[in-house]
Amino acid sequence: MKNLAISAILFGVFALSGCGESVKPEPAPVEDVDSEEADQDQNDSDEEEGARAYGTGARGKITSVNREINGVSYSLDPEDMDDPENLISQRVIYFEFDSSQVGEKYKDIIMAHSEFLLENEDYKITIEGHTDEKGTREYNIGLGDRRAGAVKQIMELNGVDPQQLATVSYGEEKLINLEQTEAAQTQNRRAVLVYSKK
């Protein structure tokens, strides 16, 4: 189900659904076959960039400073930033075990946040890097730093002023799921974008 929700967001269903239906974008880890397919599809749509329409008109309350990415519309208005239907409200990026490589499926979210920072220069983001509890605590501080740094680097490549970006690695100090299951560990391997005003 989570996969469906994410796919829906990525392919623009969300933009059309607007205020009516409540598509709850759940920024959950997507690591199985379905999501790989989704990535594939997403890449396809990248190739068709020229053909994409800009804004479809059927928008919800996100109206002020809208952008669109891969068919998903999002708002750069700080007033909308916590609206669950706005891409900007998605602030968690998940990682594979012992990896700091940002998955393709998160590049849109990071681009949206980059645009937000470019538009709102009085905002800044602290990128928190987190890991699961496997491995030593110091190594995990290093791994969390690499994860936060990977996200930061993409944002800088997107043109964001480095002054608007900071990173902090908490390693395994702030686990959000203490269960011993693999699913729990997957939720712990993450980078979190925390907004603040300059």
Partner 1 sequence: MNNWTRMNRWTRKIKSSFIAVPVLLGAVLFGAANVVAEPVSITITEGLYSPHPIAVAPFVWEGIGKRPTVDVAAVISEDLKRSGVFAPISQKEFLNDPTFGGGVRFKVWRTMGADSLVLGRIIPEGKNGLRIEFDLFDVYKGKLLSDSYVPIADRSLLRNASHHIADYIYETITGRRGVFNTQIAYVKASQDKKGSTKGGSGKGKPAKKLYELIVADADGGYPQTIMSSRDPLMSPVWSPKNRKIAYVSFEGGKSQIYVQSVETGERKKIRSFDGVNGAPAWSPDGKTLALVLSKDGDPEIYLLNIASDQLLRLTFSRGIDTEPVWTPDGRFVVFTSDRGGTPQLYRVPVTGGKVKRLTYEGRYNSRAVFSPEGRYMAFVHRDEQNRYRIAVKDMHTEEMQLVTDGPLDEAPSFSPNGDMILFAAKGKEKMVLKTVGRNGLAETSIFTDGTKMIEGDFRQPSWAPFE
Contacting positions for partner 1 (CB under 8 A): 98, 126, 133-139, 141-143, 145-146, 149, 166-171, 173-174
C-beta of 10: minimal distance to partner 1 in Å?
A: 30
* Closer residue to partner 1 (CB): 123 or 139: 139
* Closer residue to partner 1 (CB): 28 or 166: 166
124's CB contacts (< 8 A; 6+ apart) are 117, 163, 164, 165, 166, 195, 196, 197, 198
Q: Report the C-alpha gap between 8 and 148 in whole angstroms.
A: 27
* Closer residue to partner 1 (CB): 48 or 198: 198
- In degrees rounded to 5, what are phi and psi of residue 11? -105, 20
C-beta of 15: minimal distance to partner 1 in Å?
A: 30
Helices (H), 18-176: 33-47, 107-119, 137-157
* Closer residue to partner 1 (CB): 52 or 137: 137
DSSP 87: G
Q: Strands 123-130, 165-171: parallel, antiparallel or unpaired by DSSP?
A: parallel
C-beta of 140: minimal distance to partner 1 in Å?
A: 9
C-beta of 2: minimal distance to partner 1 in Å?
A: 22
* Closer residue to partner 1 (CB): 56 or 99: 99
C-beta of 98: minimal distance to partner 1 in Å?
A: 8
Token pair in block for residue 22: 């409540």
